[in-house]
Structure 1
Amino acid sequence: MDDSDASPERDPQVHWRGRDWTKTAHRQFDPAAGGDLTSAIVRALADAKRVSPHELTGPTLYDCVDMDAVTQFVAAGRSPTAPKPDFVRFEYDESLVEVRTDGRISVFASVADAV
């Protein structure tokens, strides 16, 4: 699911698919606290655009990525026998979303768009 250059865990910039991206928002997903991963990603995207989740105008997440696969990926990574945290990335409405198996969700904007 991940065709990217690995980046340090808290790196504010990443290089992915030939483009540079800068972090604009992040959230921590904790399944023990209730809620679901899809809602947490939507909230992170809203944070990045500085709007409420209901004001997002892009496509649904389900039109951009297989959320069942992302949810299973994160759940498998939270297992005590899982290797170090890993991540999956996908583009959503001109943003890059990174979801890590430890529950960290980061949203990035293209450096070209952020200037």
Structure 2
Amino acid sequence: MTEVDLTADDWQLVEQAQYDRNGRHDLTTAIITTIAAAEGVAPAELKDPVLYECVDVAAIEDSFFGPEVGGQNRDGVGTVAFRFGDYRIEVTNEGAIAVYAGTSA
């Protein structure tokens, strides 16, 4: 597996959205919809790469927005960054989804 530099210096924000844990869509749908908006296509038109091959969205959702355990939410704190094709995607524990495009050739 090739190591990928995800530092912010070489990336420009091209799309952002807010995930609502109590909303009608799951985190996977929110991420795909945001990437599709950055691409200017419908979510169903995103074919490659497959999101679950890039990141374990269920693990992010469980860590940041997980179900209650013993009456307490399992809310993690932080940001997860990963590559999706030519994009860098960031998801924060507050539900912010950001899509960045590379600025260097």
Same topology, TM > 0.5? yes
Pick aligned residue for 1:107 from 89, 99, 104: 99
The 1:64–1:82 alpha-carbon spacing in structure 2 relative to 1, beyond 3 Å, is closer
Q: Which runs of 4+ in 1 moved over 6 A?
A: none
Q: Is 1:53 aligned to residue 33 of structure 2? A: no
The 1:106–1:73 alpha-carbon spacing in structure 2 relative to 1, beyond 3 Å, is same
Point out where structure 2 has 5 or more consecutive residues left out of the alignment: 67-71
Structure 2 match to 1:10? none
1:57, CA displacement in angstroms? 2.7
Q: Distance in 2 between matches of 1:69 and 1:4?
A: 20
The residue type equivalent to 1:99 in the other structure is V
Could you say what the CA RMSD is over the residues aligned between the two structures, in angstroms?
2.3
Tell me the number of residue pairs that the alignment of Structure 1 and Structure 2 aligns.
96
1:71, CA displacement in angstroms? 1.1
1:80, CA displacement in angstroms? 7.3
Higher RCO (CA 8 Å, separation ≥ 6 residues): 2
Over the matched positions of the two proteins, sequence identity in percent amounts to 32
Q: Distance in 2 between matches of 1:61 and 1:41?
A: 9
The residue type equivalent to 2:100 in the other structure is F
> What are the residue-to-residue correspondences of 1:69-84 with 2, within 5 Å?
69-75=59-65
Give the structure-2-normalised TM-score: 0.79
Point out where structure 1 has 5 or more consecutive residues left out of the alignment: 6-13
